[in-house]
Structure 1
Amino acid sequence: MGLPPGFLRDYNNDRSFDLMISRRYFPDPATEEENKNIGFGQHEDASCITFIFQDGIGGLEVLKDGHWIPAEPIDGSIVVNIGDVIQVLSNDKLKSATHRVVRKPGNRHSFVFFLNPHGDKWVEPLPEFTAEIDEAPRYRRFLYREYLELRARNKTHPPASVTHYAI
Structure 2
Amino acid sequence: MASLDISSMQDVPENYIWYEDMDPPHSSANENDIIPVIDFQGLRRQEEEENIIEQIGSACKKWGFMQIINHGISEKLLENVSIQGRRLFSLPLEQKLKAKRAPDGVTGYGEARISPFFSKLMWSEGFTCVGSPVEDAKKLWPEDHQNFCEIIEEYEHAMKNLVKRMMSLIGRSLGLSTGDFMRRCRIQDDSYGKALQTGALQMNYYPPCPQPLRTMGLAPHTDSACLTLLYQGEVAGLQIQHRGEWVTVPVIPNALIVNIGDLMQILSNGRYKSRLHRAVANRSRSRLSIAYLWGPPPRDVIMPVPQLVDSKHPLLYKSLTWNEYLVAKSLHFDQALQLFSYNTSFSSDGNLSF
User: How far is 1:135 from its partner?
Assistant: 3.1
Which residue pairs with 1:25 in the alignment?
206
Q: Which has the higher helix share?
A: 2
Count of aligned residue pairs for this structure pair: 160
AA at the equivalent of 1:29: P
Which residue pairs with 1:124 in the alignment?
303
Which residue pairs with 1:81 in the alignment?
259
110, 113, 123: which is aligned to 2:289?
A: 110
Alpha carbon RMSD of aligned pairs, Å? 1.8
- Spell out, residue by residue over 1:32-81, the C-alpha distance to the aligned partner (whole angstroms, 9 max, x if none): 42xx2x11111111111100001111100000011000011110100000
- Spell out, residue by residue over 1:98-137, the C-alpha distance to the aligned partner (whole angstroms, 9 max, x if none): 1111111311001100011111111211111104x66320
Which residue pairs with 2:320 in the alignment?
142
CA contact (8 A) 2:187 2:197 kept: no
CA contact (8 A) 2:197 2:294 kept: no
User: How far is 1:8 from its partner?
Assistant: 3.0
Give the 3-state SS of the residue equivalent to 1:18 in structure 2: strand
Which residue pairs with 2:153 in the alignment?
none
CA contact (8 A) 2:227 2:259 kept: yes
- Counting only pairs closer than 5 Å after superposition, residues 39-118 of structure 1 correspond to structure 2 as 39-105=217-283, 106-118=285-297
AA at the equivalent of 1:124: M
CA contact (8 A) 1:12 1:116 kept: no
Query: CA 1:110 to 1:31, structure 2 compared with 1: closer, same or farther past 3 Å?
Result: closer
Considering only CA atoms, is the larger Rg found in Structure 1 or Structure 2? 2
Cα distance in 2 between the residues matched to 1:100 and 1:32: 14
Say which structure, 1 or 2, has more relative contact order (CA 8 Å, 6+ apart).
Answer: 1
AA at the equivalent of 1:138: L
AA at the equivalent of 1:86: M
User: How far is 1:3 from its partner?
Assistant: 5.0
Give the 3-state SS of the residue equivalent to 1:113 in structure 2: strand
User: How far is 1:17 from its partner?
Assistant: 2.4
Identity among equivalent pairs (%): 25
Query: CA 1:50 to 1:153, structure 2 compared with 1: closer, same or farther past 3 Å?
Result: same
Query: CA 1:16 to 1:143, structure 2 compared with 1: closer, same or farther past 3 Å?
Result: closer
Give the 3-state SS of the residue equivalent to 1:145 in structure 2: helix
Cα distance in 1 between the residues matched to 2:270 and 2:295: 18
TM-score, length-scaled by structure 1: 0.87
CA contact (8 A) 2:228 2:260 kept: yes
Segment of structure 1 superposing worse, 19-28 or 4-13:
4-13
Cα distance in 2 between the residues matched to 1:123 and 1:16: 12
CA contact (8 A) 1:3 1:90 kept: no
Q: Which has the higher strand share?
A: 1
Cα distance in 1 between the residues matched to 2:219 and 2:175: 30
User: How far is 1:150 from its partner?
Assistant: 1.5
1:164 partnered with 2:339: yes
Cα distance in 1 between the residues matched to 2:256 and 2:249: 11
User: How far is 1:163 from its partner?
Assistant: 1.8
User: How far is 1:97 from its partner?
Assistant: 2.2
Cα distance in 1 between the residues matched to 2:197 and 2:319: 22
Give the 3-state SS of the residue equivalent to 2:217 in structure 1: strand
Q: Structure 1: give runs of 5+ residues left out of the alignment.
A: none
Query: CA 1:107 to 1:76, structure 2 compared with 1: closer, same or farther past 3 Å?
Result: same
Q: Which runs of 4+ in 1 moved over 4 A?
A: none
